[in-house]
Amino acid sequence: MNIVPLAYPQKGSAKKTGYWRIFRPKINYEKCIKCMICWLYCPEGSISIINNKPVIDYDYCKGCGICANECPVKAIEMVKE
């Protein structure tokens, strides 16, 4: 089952906002327990659940780090672009 955010990131006047990013969230799927907390907290709607795992849309992720901060098992690392 695929779960997508209620609010979709879309091209607006700022176009794709992923290029604003300085740090990129990287998911370690070995550690991920598929709790979907990152999906719930992402303020940009940039995380979808695809085939029961979180997938980040780097076209719109702004690299705020909230997902990494909220992940209960620290499966998301912020790495410099």
Binding site for ligand SF4 (CB under 6 A): 25, 27, 32-38, 42, 44, 46-47, 54, 56, 61-67, 71, 73, 75-76
Q: Please, what is the minimum distance in Å from the beta carbon of residue 13 to ligand SF4?
A: 18
Cα–Cα distances (Å) from 33 to 6, 36, 37, 46, 52, in that order, read: 22, 8, 10, 19, 10
Please say which residue, 16 or 66, places its beta carbon nearer to ligand SF4.
Answer: 66
Q: Please, what is the minimum distance in Å from the beta carbon of residue 48 to ligand SF4?
A: 10
List, as one string, the DSSP characters of 57-72: -TTT-----HHHHH-T
Q: Please, what is the minimum distance in Å from the beta carbon of residue 29 to ligand SF4?
A: 8
DSSP letter assigned to residue 17? G
